[in-house]
């Protein structure tokens, strides 16, 4: 077993990081103070963690940890100071925050030493109470353990795959699973990035790219070209500004935007289809103004509600139509943006506009859906104003439109008479339940934790620039490269060509 | 050591060139077309690997000519020269022989980005390359112009796939057969020269244009996509007509550092080195450029030129109102010419003279040969495998400017690799690849074959992700053993030397780690070094060597019994110590990439019908680029993580099937 020793602040770190194993092979510690657990990229040697049970209200949440530092997590969060628990045995422990030693929860912990674990690596499971506060606290505590970082999309599965732990049939589903995960994360990231926070990250990313381009230009061209020393001095200022800003941001937890948690359900459709009426029906109070005038709703109206125990964030959007009104056009743009970010879209259609024949009605609806949505995987069709249809047609549509290929679930309702609402609510409830039961689905705390991890690496990498600035510019530049890569994991990858483009735009390289 | 065999040169030349007629019907393993930087390295490498090789060039006496600048190496390019040398190529040793002004660029910026560079004597460089080639066993050199590339009819089972069978010469339609052909045609493939308003066919001034037949075969017969690029060269100035007292003197390093790992010193003595001079453009230069634009058809055309080696015209047009650097470089010990680096231009000769006379040291300068522009065809390099073989034509290899690169070093690097692989292919050995995680050559080739080019491609250190590991000082450790053991292009002398170096460095690092002292004892041993006692109580010699102000010499004098035997490697050990923590951090990522690069994707996959879940967009990208490995696929823009996993799965399943199939056949055979 590895010997342990306390480090400042009560954090326990495994001996691999700090204690010499033998006289012959001392670990290199030059970088350990800043780059601990932050190698150049997301190598498999990292230890990852994630909430692997469903999000939303549930009795027990399972948090999984996988990788070489799993034992460290177990030691410093479940109080195993002497020896690790017997493998694959559930033990009831107090789970504590390694920074404050505050007890976060009492729950079950399980230790799965490699190779007999899901991922083939050392692995730990924490079974804790399912409330969001407890889950968030445990995830944040894990994030503070050296060597641990939040898992990327599909990472657990990928590791299991690489360790040969998945059978061929499971592997076939893997690509789709990763697709679903990246898709869920993409939507989550879009929500986070479309606001003030996104602009902040983008600004940092632009400034960092410029710093890198200028350092690279100085390295690759300054011997033959007119690239004056002043360039590097400007980079120095930029780098220390950026480092200070990022560190301030990391300290100031309140500055993060309010995280929109819950299933994002968006009501969309043409003007005057009754979208706001549906919102009001669902939240049982007049949250949105309803009028017979087309285009009444011009901005997104948001309401949080509890749907049979699951958190839902319901948004009503402006009716989609071409408009010359500037305000309305902006409303339509926002509506489309919101649909893009939605987990589930309720497409509302005025039944009175439907052709009377079923075939033509189906074709009409397919066409309509295409104009509203990029794909029909995550939507329900709501045919409103059913009370305006003759009884016979209503029944025909209700029975025959179900199961028509190319259409999602269809429900006929009337917000006026409440007809069909109950049946619709049942469908909506089961869709939301499915989404919440999916562990991939929008855990904003995880997104936030991932952002934090990348930002911390970014700041640490900038410190490397300053440490080597005067002695070895190649190693200093390595710091800026690392910072760009870390931030790029939030804002998007940055390629060598992009950096060269900035170089050639900013300098006359004549040789 | 530098081998002096130049006197034999001329006695060797004539018999070789006389034998052209006898070559008809002769079967070679490898034919190399072109005698520039790519062609010479390709021919030499192919012969080293063991292939009977024929080098065909228009004129033997222009083999190894420096068509443009009289210099070798630099930042990024110097790394390539060191790597070519580590693989036993020619250009490093030629540079050491011909260099007349050596300097390490970026000396103050860290050893990973040091740029070994030398000004060269053109004549000496050519002499060295020619004597080296003409004394290489298994290599024949012949003068001639290639009219046609001979290929088989397309394989009926694989439409569009050919196999190379040889070449046909222009004069007298000689056909010479070979298993592999390496084309290194430089700027000669449909090349045209531009000066002022006149254009003429050709690839270099003073040389005959190459035949249109080759270009035709590549495009029409083999269906290869080609593009057009441009480059240019400055006028050569008569040295005596320049007032060098008006320019800034630029001295070489007082101790020249050789390029080659085999050389301990350069041919040129330190005190015999020649200086360079630096001067600047004036507003008058910009005026002349603007006034003569309508007389300059090269500049008016929008063929892609390099952003980093632009003509003086594009420099002043893109960044007006500035003073631009001009380097005046010697062309050789006995040459009476100067090379004005940065003044590449294509205007009419009389205006070229007006322009240079706007620059103070050249007020009364005379032009010896005017500058000119060249436009030429290149083959889109995404059609090549990482062995630089044309994917659709078995046995056809391309290297140098024909692949869209610029620069002697880039050409040499590709030439060596294409030549070695052409030989391996001809001798029925599997082709080999270099990873971008282990060399700049790997970065260069991977960039070319997986991303293609939109402008002439030049190496920069910023292109290498693992720059701190791919240093000029350790190119031998990275490549020489592989070159001997896996490629066969390295002589056993060099291999043994690299093993000696590797073992010594290893022993020295072990010895350093074995010095395990308390900080207070270190302070006594090295009183001048500020060692913080709060840090840790015990430090090794390797820890100490990472300190800025600690040199290996200091440690060796403190512990002579364990360290003094490694003095030869003092500088390399210092660099190893400083970079080791960073390289260790890179290691995991490097291993991941290498794992992915080891999973090859079959070249004949029909991506559109592949029974795995891929979007149409991804299928299109994969079909267009046809990456050779999973690693190359992951680096393509637009390839999603899900697509990579599905591909990975496909590769594993097909490999497993193949293996089962092989086993079955073996079992059947045993029965």
Most confident of A14-18, A137-141, A340-344, B142-146: B142-146
Q: Are residues A318 and A237 in the same domain?
A: no
Query: A487 with A378, same domain?
Result: no
Q: Which residues of chain A from 168 to 227 reach within 8 Å of chain B, CB to CB?
A: 168, 171-172, 174-176, 178-179, 182, 216, 218-226
Q: Which residues of A touch B653 (CB under 8 A)?
A: 168
* pLDDT one-digit tens code per residue, B410-435: 999 999 999 999 999 999 999 999 99
Burial of residue B599 (CB within 10 Å: 0-12, 13-18, 19+) is: middle
A278 and A386 in a single domain? The answer is: yes
Distances, alpha carbon B373 to alpha carbons A11, B232, B235, B291, in Å: 66, 4, 11, 19
Average per-residue pLDDT for chain B:
88
The phi, psi pair for B136, rounded to 5°, reads: -85, 125
Question: Looking at residue B218, what is its pLDDT?
Answer: 92
How confident is the model over A392-444, as pLDDT tens digits? Answer: 888 888 788 777 777 888 888 888 888 888 888 888 888 887 776 554 444 45
For position B463, what pLDDT does the model report?
92
Whether B125 contacts B94, CB under 8 Å? yes
Delineate the domains of chain B, giving CATH numbers in brackets. Answer: 23-73+136-232+376-463 (3.50.50.60), 236-372 (2.40.30.260), 509-588 (no CATH), 599-670 (1.10.150.570)
CATH number of the domain at A247, please: 1.20.120.430
Tens-digit pLDDT profile for residues B213-242: 888 889 999 999 999 998 889 999 999 999
ipTM of the complex: 0.82
Nearest Cα residue to B231 out of B344, B142, B319, B93: B344
Residue B48 has pLDDT above 70, yes or no: yes
Chain B residue at shortest CA distance from A40: B586
pLDDT in tens, B468-500: 999 999 999 999 999 999 999 999 999 999 999
Quick one: pLDDT at residue B69? 93
How high is the pLDDT of residue B451? Answer: 86
Chain A contact present for B59, CB below 8 A:
no
**Chain A residue nearest residue B547, CA to CA:** A30
- Same domain, yes or no: A480 and A398: no
Mean pLDDT for B553-577 is 94
Termini Cα distance of chain B:
58
Please give the DSSP secondary-structure letter assigned to residue B210: P
User: For residue A391, with 0-12 CB atoms within 10 Å meaning exposed, 13-18 middle and 19 or more buried, which class applies?
Assistant: exposed
Find out whether B233 and B311 touch, Cβ atoms under 8 Å: no
Q: Where do we find the tokens 């440490």?
A: A467
3 state SS for B444-491: HHHHHHHHCCCCCECCCHHHCCCCCCCCHHHHHHHHHHHHHHHHCCCC
Distances, alpha carbon A504 to alpha carbons A202, A498, A510, in Å: 22, 10, 10
Give yes or no for B512 touching A (CB within 8 A): no
Q: Is the pLDDT of residue A8 over 50?
A: no
**Three-class HEC string of B582-649:** HHHHHHHHHHHHHHHHCCECCCCCCCCCCCCCCCHHHHHHHHHHCCCEHHHHHCCCCCCHHHHHHHHH
Question: CA-based angle A289:A294:A296, to the nearest 5?
Answer: 30
**Containing H/E element for B100?**
strand B99-105
**With b meaning 16 or more CB within 10 Å and e meaning fewer, what string describes B316-340?**
beebeeeebbbbbbbbbeebebbbb
- Domain assignment present for A84: yes
**pLDDT-wise least confident of B110-119, B285-294, B302-311, B421-430:** B302-311
Above 80 in pLDDT, residue B23?
no
Residue for token pair 């260790």: B584
Answer yes or no: are the C-beta atoms of B440 and B413 closer than 8 Å.
Answer: yes
Residues B586, A40: C-beta atoms closer than 8 Å? yes
DSSP annotation string for B353-394: HHHHTTSGGGTT--EEE--EEEEEEEE-GGGB-TTSBBTTEE
Q: β-strands B53-57, B27-33: how paired?
A: parallel
Q: Which of residues 399-438 of A touch B (CB under 8 A)?
A: none
Rank A31-40, A247-256, B148-157, B411-420 by mean pLDDT and report only the highest: B411-420
How many C-beta atoms surround the C-beta of residue B156 within 10 A? 7
Residue B101, φ and ψ in degrees, nearest 5:
-165, 100
State which of A436, A463, A495 marks the end of a domain.
Answer: A436
Q: Which residues pair with B304 in a beta bridge?
A: B229
Q: How confident is the model at residue B3 (pLDDT cuts 50, 70, 90)?
A: very low
pLDDT of B509 strictly over 80: yes
pLDDT for residue B444 is more than 90: yes
Task: Answer yes or no: do B592 and A225 touch at CB < 8 A.
Answer: no
Whether A315 and A214 map to the same domain: the answer is: no
B613 and A28: CB-CB below 8 Å?
no
**Cα(A508)–Cα(A206) distance, rounded to whole angstroms?**
21
pLDDT number for residue B525: 87
Return the structure tokens found at A385. Answer: 């104003």
Identify which has the larger pLDDT, A491 or B372: B372
Residue A345 lies in a domain: yes
**Spatial contact of A146 and A158, defined as CB atoms under 8 Å apart:** no
Residues A135 and A215 in one domain: no
From start to end of A308-396, where are the E strands? 310-316, 344-350, 379-384
Q: What is the number of residues in chain A?
A: 511
Pick from B19, B667, B28, B70: which is nearest to B334 by CA? B70
Q: Same domain, yes or no, for A269 and A388?
A: yes
Does residue A3 belong to any structural domain of this protein?
A: no
Q: Do the domain assignments include residue A27?
A: no
**Domain presence at residue A207:** yes
CB contact under 8 A, A219 and B75: yes
- Subunit contact A478:B342, Cβ cutoff 8 A: no
Task: Answer yes or no: is A174 within a domain.
Answer: no
Q: Is the pLDDT of residue B618 over 90?
A: no
Span B591-596, mean pLDDT?
75
The share of chain A scoring above pLDDT 70, in percent, equals: 70
Distance from CA of B457 to the nearest CA of A (A): 11
Using one digit for the tens of pLDDT, what is the confidence trace for B341-385? Answer: 999 999 999 999 999 999 999 999 999 999 999 999 999 999 999
**Looking at chain A, which residue has its C-alpha nearest residue B105?**
A223
Q: Is the pLDDT of residue B15 over 60?
A: no
3-state secondary structure of A499: helix
| Range picked from A228-232, A469-473, B146-150, B182-186 for highest mean pLDDT | B182-186
Higher pLDDT, A54 or A146: A146
Please identify, among A404, A436, A468, the residue that sits at the C-terminal boundary of a domain: A436
Is residue B321's pLDDT more than 60?
yes
Read off the pLDDT of residues A88-99 as tens digits, 9 standing for 90 and up: 999 999 999 988
As to burial, measured by CB atoms within 10 angstroms (0-12 exposed, 13-18 middle, 19+ buried), residue B205 is middle
Half-sphere CA count of B624, side-chain side, radius 13 A: 13
Average pLDDT over residues B102-111: 94
Please check the confidence at residue A281 and state whether its pLDDT lies above 90.
Answer: no
Partner-chain residue, chosen from A153, A178, A219, that has the shortest CB–CB distance to B113: A219
CB spacing of B613 vs A175 below 8 angstroms: yes
pLDDT in tens, A233-255: 999 999 999 999 998 888 765 43
Residue with tokens 């408009």: A323
Among A residues 3-22, those touching chain B with beta carbons less than 8 Å apart: 20
Lowest mean pLDDT, pick from A327-336, B261-270, B279-288: A327-336
B:340-379 residues touching chain A, CB 8 A cutoff: 341-342
- Inter-chain CB proximity A216 and B585 less than 8 Å: no
Phi, psi of B613 (to 5 degrees): -80, 105
pLDDT of residue A25: 33
Does A45 lie at the interface with B, CB-CB under 8 angstroms? Answer: yes
Residue B163 has pLDDT above 80, yes or no: yes
For residues A311 and A453, membership in a common domain is answered with: no
Whether the link from the prior residue into A110 is cis, omega within 30° of 0, is no
Mean pLDDT of B16-20: 45
Question: Does A25 contact chain B (CB < 8 Å)?
Answer: yes
Strand partners, B201: B192
For testing contact with chain B, the best of A474, A484, A486, A501 (most B CBs within 10 A): A474
What distance in Å separates residue B668's CA from the closest CA in chain A?
A: 27
Which residues lie closer than 8 Å to B429 by C-beta, 6 or more apart?
B488
* Pick from B109, B327, B641: CB nearest A153: B641
Over residues B22-27, mean pLDDT: 69
A470 and A365: one domain? no
Which band of pLDDT confidence, cut at 50, 70 and 90, is reported for residue B319?
Answer: confident
Contacts of A172 in chain B (CB under 8 A): 649
Lowest-confidence range among A64-73, B129-138, B658-667? Answer: B658-667
Asked whether the predicted pLDDT for residue A30 surpasses 50, the reply is no
Which 8-state DSSP code applies to residue B217?
I
Among A132, A151, A170, give the residue marking a domain's end.
A151
pLDDT bucket at B511, cuts 50 / 70 / 90:
very high
Is the domain of A310 the same as that of A431?
A: yes
A437 CB burial (10 A radius; 0-12, 13-18, 19+): middle
Instruction: Specify whether A241 is located in the same domain as A268.
Output: no
Evaluate whether residue A239 is within a structural domain.
yes
User: In this structure, what CATH number is given to the domain that contains residue A387?
Assistant: 3.40.50.300
Higher-pLDDT residue of A21 and B230 is: B230
A419 and A472, same domain (yes or no): no
Model confidence at A309: pLDDT above 90: no
CB-based contact B205:B235 (threshold 8 Å): no
CA distance B133 to B415: 14
Is residue A121 in a domain? yes
Q: Is B29 strand, coil or helix?
A: strand
Residues spanned by the domain of A337:
263-291+299-436
Name the pTM for this structure. Answer: 0.74
Distances (CA, A) of B281 to B320, B340, B356, B649: 11, 11, 9, 59
Q: Count how many domains chain A has.
A: 3
């Amino acid at each position: 077993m590895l010997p342990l020793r306390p480090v400042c602040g009560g954090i326990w770190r495994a001996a691999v990081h700090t204690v010499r194993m033998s006289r012959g092979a001392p670990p290199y510690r030059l970088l350990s103070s800043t780059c601990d657990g932050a190698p150049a990229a997301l190598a498999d040697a990292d230890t990852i963690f994630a909430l692997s049970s469903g999000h939303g209200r549930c009795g027990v949440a399972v948090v999984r940890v996988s990788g070489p530092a799993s034992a460290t997590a177990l030691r410093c969060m479940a109080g195993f100071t002497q020896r690790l628990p017997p493998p694959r045995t559930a033990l009831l422990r107090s789970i504590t925050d390694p920074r404050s030693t505050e007890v976060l929860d009492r729950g079950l912990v399980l230790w799965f030493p490699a190779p007999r674990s899901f991922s083939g690596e050392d692995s730990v499971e924490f079974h804790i109470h399912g409330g969001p506060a407890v889950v968030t606290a445990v995830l944040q505590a894990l994030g503070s353990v050296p060597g641990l970082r939040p898992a990327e999309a599909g990472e657990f599965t990928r590791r299991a795959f690489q360790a040969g732990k998945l059978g061929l049939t499971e592997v076939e589903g893997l690509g789709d699973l990763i697709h679903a995960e990246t898709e869920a994360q993409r939507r989550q990231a879009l929500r986070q990035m479309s606001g003030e926070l996104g602009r902040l990250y983008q600004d940092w990313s632009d400034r960092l790219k410029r710093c890198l381009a200028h350092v690279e230009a100085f390295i690759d061209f300054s011997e033959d070209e007119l690239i004056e020393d002043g360039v590097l001095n400007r980079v120095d200022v930029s780098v220390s500004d950026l480092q200070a800003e990022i560190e301030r941001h990391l300290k100031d937890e309140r500055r993060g935007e309010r995280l929109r948690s819950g299933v994002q359900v968006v009501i969309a459709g043409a003007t005057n289809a009754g979208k706001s009426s549906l919102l009001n029906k669902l939240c049982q109070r007049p949250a949105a103004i309803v009028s017979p005038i087309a285009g009444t709703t011009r901005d997104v109206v948001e309401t949080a509600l509890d749907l049979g125990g699951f958190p839902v964030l319901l948004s009503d959007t402006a009716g989609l139509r071409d408009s010359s009104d500037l305000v309305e056009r902006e409303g339509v743009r926002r509506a489309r943006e919101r649909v893009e970010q939605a987990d589930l879209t309720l497409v509302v259609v005025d039944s009175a506009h439907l052709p009377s024949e079923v075939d033509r009605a189906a074709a009409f609806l397919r066409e309509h859906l295409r104009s509203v949505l990029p794909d029909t995987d995550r939507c329900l069709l709501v045919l409103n104003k059913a009370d305006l249809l003759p009884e016979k047609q209503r029944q025909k549509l209700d029975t025959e439109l179900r199961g028509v290929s190319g259409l999602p679930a269809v429900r006929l309702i009337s917000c006026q008479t409440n007809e069909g609402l109950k049946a619709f609510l049942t469908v909506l409830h089961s869709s939301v339940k499915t989404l919440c039961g999916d562990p991939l689905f929008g855990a904003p705390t995880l997104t936030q934790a991932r952002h934090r991890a990348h930002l911390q690496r970014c700041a640490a990498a900038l410190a490397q620039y300053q440490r080597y600035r005067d002695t070895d510019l190649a190693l200093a530049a390595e710091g800026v490269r690392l910072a760009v890569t870390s931030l790029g994991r939030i804002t998007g990858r940055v390629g060598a060509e992009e950096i060269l483009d900035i170089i050639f735009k900013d300098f006359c390289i004549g040789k | 050591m530098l081998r002096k065999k130049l006197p034999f040169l001329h006695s060797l030349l004539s018999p070789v060139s006389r034998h052209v007629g006898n070559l008809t019907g002769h079967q070679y393993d490898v034919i190399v077309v072109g005698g520039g930087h790519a062609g010479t390295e390709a021919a030499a490498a192919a012969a080293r690997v063991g292939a009977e090789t024929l080098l065909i060039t228009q004129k033997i006496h222009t083999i190894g000519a420096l068509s443009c600048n009289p210099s070798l190496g630099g930042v990024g390019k110097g790394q390539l020269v060191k790597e070519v040398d580590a693989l036993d190529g020619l250009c490093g040793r030629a540079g050491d022989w011909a260099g007349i002004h050596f300097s390490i660029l970026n000396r103050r910026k860290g050893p990973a980005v040091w740029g070994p560079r030398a000004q060269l004597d053109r004549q000496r460089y050519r002499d060295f390359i020619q004597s080296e080639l003409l004394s290489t066993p298994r290599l024949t050199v012949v003068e001639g112009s290639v009219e046609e590339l001979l290929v088989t009819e397309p394989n009926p089972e694989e439409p569009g796939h050919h196999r190379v069978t040889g070449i046909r010469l222009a004069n007298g339609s000689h056909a010479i057969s070979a298993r592999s052909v390496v084309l290194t045609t430089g700027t000669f493939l449909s090349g045209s020269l531009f000066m002022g308003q006149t254009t003429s066919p050709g690839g270099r001034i003073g040389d005959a244009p190459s035949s249109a037949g080759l270009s035709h075969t590549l495009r029409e017969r083999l269906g290869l996509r080609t593009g057009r690029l441009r480059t240019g060269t400055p006028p050569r100035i008569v040295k005596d007509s320049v007032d060098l007292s008006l320019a800034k003197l630029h001295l070489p390093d007082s101790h020249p550092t050789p390029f080659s790992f085999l050389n301990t010193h350069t041919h040129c003595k330190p005190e015999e080195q020649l200086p360079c001079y630096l001067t600047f453009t004036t507003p008058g230069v910009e005026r002349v450029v603007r006034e003569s634009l309508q007389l300059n058809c090269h500049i008016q055309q929008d063929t892609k030129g390099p952003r980093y080696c632009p003509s003086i015209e594009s420099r002043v047009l893109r960044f007006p109102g500035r003073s631009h650097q001009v380097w005046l470089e010697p062309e050789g010990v006995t040459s009476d010419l100067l090379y004005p680096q940065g003044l590449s231009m294509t205007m009419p000769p009389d205006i070229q003279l007006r322009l240079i006379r706007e620059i103070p040291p050249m007020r009364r300068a005379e032009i010896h040969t005017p500058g000119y522009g060249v436009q030429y065809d290149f083959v889109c390099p995404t059609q090549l495998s990482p062995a630089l073989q044309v994917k659709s034509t078995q046995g056809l290899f391309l290297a140098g400017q024909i692949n869209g690169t610029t620069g002697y070093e880039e050409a040499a690097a590709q030439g060596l690799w294409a030549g070695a692989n052409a030989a391996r292919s001809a001798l029925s050995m599997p082709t080999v690849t270099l990873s971008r995680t282990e060399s700049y050559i790997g970065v260069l080739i991977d960039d070319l074959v997986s991303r293609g080019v939109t402008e002439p491609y030049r190496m920069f250190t910023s292109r290498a992700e693992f720059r701190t590991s791919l240093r000029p000082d350790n190119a031998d450790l990275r490549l020489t053993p592989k070159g001997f053991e896996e490629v066969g292009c390295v002589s056993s002398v060099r291999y043994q030397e690299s093993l000696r170096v590797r073992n010594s460095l290893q022993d020295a690092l072990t010895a350093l780690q074995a010095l395990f002292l308390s900080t207070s004892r270190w302070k006594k041993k090295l009183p001048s070094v500020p060692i913080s006692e709060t840090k840790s109580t015990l430090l090794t010699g390797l820890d100490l060597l990472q300190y800025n102000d600690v040199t290996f010499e200091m440690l060796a004098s403190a512990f002579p019994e364990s360290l003094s035997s490694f003095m030869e490697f003092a500088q390399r050990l210092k660099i190893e110590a400083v970079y080791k923590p960073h390289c260790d951090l890179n290691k995991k990522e490097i291993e991941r990439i290498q794992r992915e690069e080891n999973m090859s994707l079959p070249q004949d996959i029909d991506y559109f019908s592949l029974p795995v879940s891929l979007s149409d967009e991804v299928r299109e990208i994969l079909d267009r680029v046809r990456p050779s490995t999973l690693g190359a696929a992951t680096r393509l823009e637009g390839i999603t993580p899900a697509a990579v996993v599905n591909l990975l799965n496909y590769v594993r399943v097909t490999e497993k099937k193949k293996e089962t199939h092989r086993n079955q056949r073996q079992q059947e055979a045993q029965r």
